[in-house]
Amino acid sequence: MALVIAQALMAQARPDSFSDLVDKVSPAVVNITTSTVVARGAGPSPIVPEGSPFEDFFREFRDRNGDGDRPRRTSALGSGFVISEDGFVVTNNHVIESADEIIIEFFSGKELTAEVIGTDPKTDIALLKVETDAPLPFVTFGDSDTARVGDWVMAMGNPLGQGFSASAGIVSARNRALSGTYDDYIQTDAAINRGNSGGPLFNMDAQVIGVNTAILSPTGGSIGIGFSMASNVVTRVVDQLKEYGETRRGWLGVRIQDVTDDVAEAIGLEEVRGALVTDVPEGPAADGGMKAGDVILSFDGTQVQDTRELVRQVGNTEVGKSVRVMVFREGKTQSLKITLGRREEAEGAVPAAQPGADNGGETSSQEILGLTISPLNEELRGQLELESDATGLVVTDVDNLSEAYEKGVRAGDLITEAGQQEVTSMSDLEDRIAEAREAGRKSILLLVRRAGEPRFVALPVDAETSE
């Protein structure tokens, strides 16, 4: 009897047909055709040695079939959907990027020319606008955070240029990250192919919970692993593009890395979570008193689990807002008040340089923690192309069997801090190691810079300090 009830419930959960949903949303889904003028000579050409008997043949063939190097027009296909009756259309940035002309084709067959209101390459979202006298059918966004793995979804778009097409599947996974800073993808097995890019992913309430953006495939065709940018990311971007024509993300002004088990142990952090600050260049965080070595535990009242979560929280916060940031520093928590800047204005900013210091006159190398280390001198400064005010200890060699090597430390790296204190001499480093041992630490935290990029590495201190 229980089996019969379970089967009945499963049958009830499975839709008999998606036809009503398709009928409801199709008028708001659009095909997008773009055209771009490109230089004829931009593509690859056969390489023929000068004086070869084939030289004249290839020149004549190219001129006959390609009209020499004259520009030519190329076209591309994609999908999108209308989000307002006055003609705002959402699609992927890569669908319309560099396009000279954008044509929107509606389900009715009507075509309109669109203009670009704004784009956001970081989330691959673009907002378009068409002018129309009559109100357009449109669809609304749903709350992607309520989508559960196993929920039914339907993708619509223009796969392989075949025109309006629907495919159904389930939410296969949530919170997928591909390569971007603000990625929050819904994975689905609904068929998504080339041309589906920019099309909507619907839930069963006819709400858009994702924008179909990418597929994972060894063949280039759908194998049931598609990705849609979550609507809760898209709506924030669209609202800003509509209001400003560009994005305006909050900026904290720090470089960060995830907290690992050994890093947490090295600094005495009981819970392995948060974002470890590796550098604080000039900016909002520096003005608010944040320091390299701080672990950000909460931002604006919300706990921080890892770097990805912090980046999204900051980016979604209003520019100019003053927020409370809780950090872990030297065994205690501390609250900082920081007024956020704007990320778009800060991108490409150069981190503040470290203050200069004397190396104490040391010139000899020592082996410690599996590393061969030398004080920074003018010769090494020149070899590593370091600024004149750079300080620290230079790694000249790494034992291939050491934990330091396993954790990515390499010759040429510059150690600027140990135990969250600046080091400029071998005695500084030895003192920090001794302090870590006396405090019962199993590891010591080193701040390592490579080509100016900082990161923290925790190394065990249970070995001898020198050999």
What is the share, in percent, of the chain residues with pLDDT greater than 70?
84
User: Tokens 């390609």 — which residue?
Assistant: 66
Residue 179 pLDDT: 65
Take residue 152 and report the two structure tokens written for it.
């039914």
What does the pLDDT look like over 228-247, one tens digit per residue?
999 999 999 999 999 999 99
Taking Cα atoms as reference points, which of 466, 445, 462 lies closest to residue 454?
A: 445
CB atoms within 10 A of CB 284: 24
Residue 220 pLDDT: 72
Confidence class for position 296, pLDDT limits 50, 70, 90:
very high
- Whether 124 is a known active-site residue: answer yes
**Selected catalytic residue, list 120, 124, 184, 300:** 124
Confidence class for position 69, pLDDT limits 50, 70, 90:
low
Element of type H or E holding 22? helix 19-25
Mean pLDDT, the chain, integer: 84
Q: Which of 65-74, 325-334, 444-453 has the lowest mean pLDDT?
A: 65-74
Residue 58 pLDDT: 56
Q: Which of 39-43, 161-165, 207-211, 411-415 has the lowest mean pLDDT?
A: 39-43
Residue 39 pLDDT: 59
Q: Concatenated DSSP letters for 266-305?
A: HHT-SSS-SEEEEE--TTHHHHTT--TT-EEEEETTEE--
**Quick check: 445 and 267 in contact, CB under 8 A?**
yes
**Quick check: 202 and 208 in contact, CB under 8 A?**
yes
Task: Give CA 274 to chain center in angstroms.
Answer: 18
Confidence class for position 191, pLDDT limits 50, 70, 90:
very high
Query: What is the pLDDT averaged over residues 223-231?
Result: 92
- Indicate left, alpha or beta for 161 from its phi (over 0: left) and psi (-120 to 50: alpha): left
**Selected catalytic residue, list 79, 167, 172, 197:** 197
Q: Which residues contact 286 (CB under 8 A, 6 or more apart)?
A: 253, 280, 352
What does the pLDDT look like over 172-190, one tens digit per residue?
999 888 766 788 899 999 9
**Selected catalytic residue, list 26, 84, 94, 365:** 94
- Whether 197 is a known active-site residue: answer yes
What does the pLDDT look like over 86-144, one tens digit per residue?
999 999 999 998 888 999 999 999 999 999 999 999 899 999 999 999 999 999 999 99
Residue 442 pLDDT: 84
Spatial distance between the Cα atoms of 314 and 327, rounded to a whole number of angstroms: 15
The alpha-helical segments, DSSP class H, found in 326-374 are: 343-346
100 vs 219, more confident: 100
Residue 16 pLDDT: 86
Residue 351 pLDDT: 37
- Whether 239 is a known active-site residue: answer no
**Quick check: 272 and 280 in contact, CB under 8 A?**
no
Q: Which of 18-22, 24-28, 74-78 has the lowest mean pLDDT?
A: 74-78
Q: Which of 3-7, 78-82, 218-222, 356-360 has the lowest mean pLDDT?
A: 356-360
CB atoms within 10 A of CB 272: 15
Residue 40 pLDDT: 55
Spatial distance between the Cα atoms of 156 and 221, rounded to a whole number of angstroms: 16
Residue 6 pLDDT: 47
Total-model pTM = 0.70
Element of type H or E holding 312? helix 307-315
Q: Which of 155-159, 323-327, 383-387 has the lowest mean pLDDT?
A: 383-387
What does the pLDDT look like over 411-459, one tens digit per residue?
888 998 888 888 888 888 888 888 888 777 888 888 888 877 888 888 8
Indicate if the pLDDT at residue 265 is higher than 70. Answer: yes
290 vs 362, more confident: 290
Confidence class for position 28, pLDDT limits 50, 70, 90:
very high
Residue 74 phi/psi, 5-degree rounding, is -115, 155
Q: DSSP state, 358?
A: -
Spatial distance between the Cα atoms of 415 and 354, rounded to a whole number of angstroms: 12
Residue 447 pLDDT: 86
